[in-house]
Amino acid sequence: MWIGVKILVMGADGFCGWATALYLSKQGHEVGALDGLLRRQWDKDLGISSLTPLPPFEARVAAWERKSGKKMPTFVGDLTNYEFVSDVFASFRPDAIVHFAEQRSAPYSMIDREHAVFTQVNNVVGTLNVLYAMKEHVPDAHLVKLGTMGEYGTPNIDIEEGWIRIEHNGRSDVLPYPKQPGSFYHLSKVHDSHNIMFTCRAWGIRATDLNQGVVYGVETAETAHDPELTNRFDYDEIYGTVLNRFCLEAAIGHPLTVYGDGGQTRGMLNIEDTVRCIELACENPAQPGEFRVFNQFTESFSVADLAERVVAAARDMGIDARIERLPNPRVEKEQHYYNAKHSALEDLGLKPHLLTQDVIKRIIEIAAQYKDRADLGVIRPTVSWRATASRRTAPVK
């Protein structure tokens, strides 16, 4: 049994990071929880907040320690500050580093020039600092880095897991799969992937790049039914992801906001599978110098299909939800081929939690429980991919 390993979870105050830190701690690992609390500041700047109320970071970690009997040291600081990163790595000396700590909203990165620059500096510089701190203090540790399925875009051929064999002028090689990301945020993930791949080759770093699809759901076994441990529920136009938004919209009687034709198809997974995928990646580390890529999602859906599933689930609950097709604020293909491979994590033992009507009903139920906290003014999209500066111009940081 792979137990008692030191894992530094970075971005531990966020949606994926909080669920993962608690899950890995419960499994018996020594978890350190790092976060710069930047997301809380960005929310304030943008006038948005989680639908579920969130206790302060230190308080929710203290609540976990009290309830689980496990220790979870916290490190509060910004990954773009190398002195901070170096001190954490020198003192905690992790065996595995799970890196969620980035600005992760595509619309945020498309607000205007400042937000695009901020997103790329935050993400690319933060990750470079992590790579240097690994080299300096823990060169044998394993980096488990969250990438995104959006790195690939929507090509008219099957999407492989990171690599593709190419025949060219009579010669052949296995090369990184072509990248066609759809926002300055998604581009930042491509830049990260290249930097990580290079340090694996140059310094012998071991790394797993997890190209995660859109995550839905709220609860994991550790965060459910306890207000002190509850996870965040983003529903606003900037940070809300498509299925959770549709569930909230159904719960509050807002039309479901399908952008464009709704034929946009994405790989998706339940937050309960995110935590397990991270565990599997940590338990089966990459080799020294290996840059490994796994596609981390379990099923693909079009946006229109998701909306129809939410309407049907809501109907069963006595809610009359309706769909509204909005002009697409993004530049993306609305009808396209999509067949992305995702077998590596299942080969390691992932048993997917699939998207049943009961899963959708539970998300609607949670949204309904907190519906008085929903702000109707932050649901409709205002950030445009085409405009040079969108309506929101809140300062960054």
Handedness of CA 351, 355, 358, 362 (dihedral sign): positive
Query: Which of 7, 9, 14, 222: binder of ligand NAD (CB under 6 A)?
Result: 14
Residue burial 338-359, b: 16+ Cβ < 10 Å; e: rest? bebebebbeeeebebeebeeeb
CA distance 22 to 224: 11
CA distance 9 to 6: 10
Judged by CB under 6 A, does residue 267 bind ligand USQ?
A: yes
Residue 264: which of ligand USQ, ligand NAD, none does it interact with, CB under 5 to 8 A by kind? ligand USQ
274 has catalytic annotation: no
CA distance 72 to 109: 32
Q: Which residue has the tokens 């930097």?
A: 195
Query: Which of 25, 52, 105, 296: binder of ligand USQ (CB under 6 A)?
Result: 105
23 has catalytic annotation: no
Cβ-closest position to ligand NAD: 14
Judged by CB under 6 A, does residue 149 bind ligand USQ?
A: yes
44 has catalytic annotation: no
- The one catalytic residue in 108, 185, 239, 338 is 185
CB of 169 to ligand NAD, least distance (A): 36
Query: Which of 145, 330, 342, 361: binder of ligand USQ (CB under 6 A)?
Result: 330
CA distance 212 to 298: 10
Q: How far apart are the first and last CA of the chain?
A: 43
CA distance 369 to 251: 9
Give the single-character DSSP code of 182.
S
Residues of the chain by 3-state class (helix, strand, coil), percent to 5:
40, 20, 40
Residue 78: which of ligand USQ, ligand NAD, none does it interact with, CB under 5 to 8 A by kind? ligand NAD
Residue 17: which of ligand USQ, ligand NAD, none does it interact with, CB under 5 to 8 A by kind? ligand NAD
Torsion of CA 190, 192, 198, 199, to 10 degrees: -160
Judged by CB under 6 A, does residue 78 bind ligand NAD?
A: yes
Judged by CB under 6 A, does residue 266 bind ligand USQ?
A: yes
Chain positions 295 to 324 lying near ligand USQ, rule: CB under 6 A, are 303
Q: Which residue has the tokens 């990646």?
A: 281
Residue 266: which of ligand NAD, ligand USQ, none does it interact with, CB under 5 to 8 A by kind? ligand USQ
Judged by CB under 6 A, does residue 200 bind ligand NAD?
A: no
In the structure encoding, which two tokens stand for residue 22, read together?
Answer: 């608690």
Q: Which region, judged by CB under 6 A, interacts with ligand NAD, from 6-14, 59-67, 113-121, 380-388?
A: 6-14
Instruction: List all residues 6 or more positions away from 198 whose beta carbon is below 8 Å from its beta carbon.
Output: none
> Which lies closer to ligand USQ via its Cβ, residue 231 or residue 257?
257
> Which lies closer to ligand USQ via its Cβ, residue 158 or residue 173?
158
Q: Which residue has the tokens 């809140």?
A: 394
> Which lies closer to ligand NAD via its Cβ, residue 289 or residue 373?
373
Alpha-carbon distances, residue 349 vs 112, 132, 352 (angstroms): 42, 32, 9
Residue 259: which of ligand USQ, ligand NAD, none does it interact with, CB under 5 to 8 A by kind? ligand USQ
Query: Which of 7, 8, 22, 35: binder of ligand NAD (CB under 6 A)?
Result: 35
Judged by CB under 6 A, does residue 126 bind ligand NAD?
A: yes
Residue 39: which of ligand NAD, ligand USQ, none does it interact with, CB under 5 to 8 A by kind? ligand NAD
Q: Name the amino acid, one letter, at 312.
A: A
Residue burial 199-226, b: 16+ Cβ < 10 Å; e: rest? bbeeeebbbbbbbbbbbbbbbbebbeee
Chain positions 221 to 280 lying near ligand NAD, rule: CB under 6 A, are 241
Judged by CB under 6 A, does residue 80 bind ligand NAD?
A: yes
In the structure encoding, which two tokens stand for residue 257, read together?
Answer: 């906001």
- The one catalytic residue in 52, 80, 152, 189 is 189
The binding site for ligand USQ (CB under 6 A) comprises: 104-106, 148-150, 186, 213-214, 241-242, 245, 257-259, 264, 266-267, 303, 330, 332
Q: Which sequence positions are flagged as catalytic?
A: 148, 185, 189
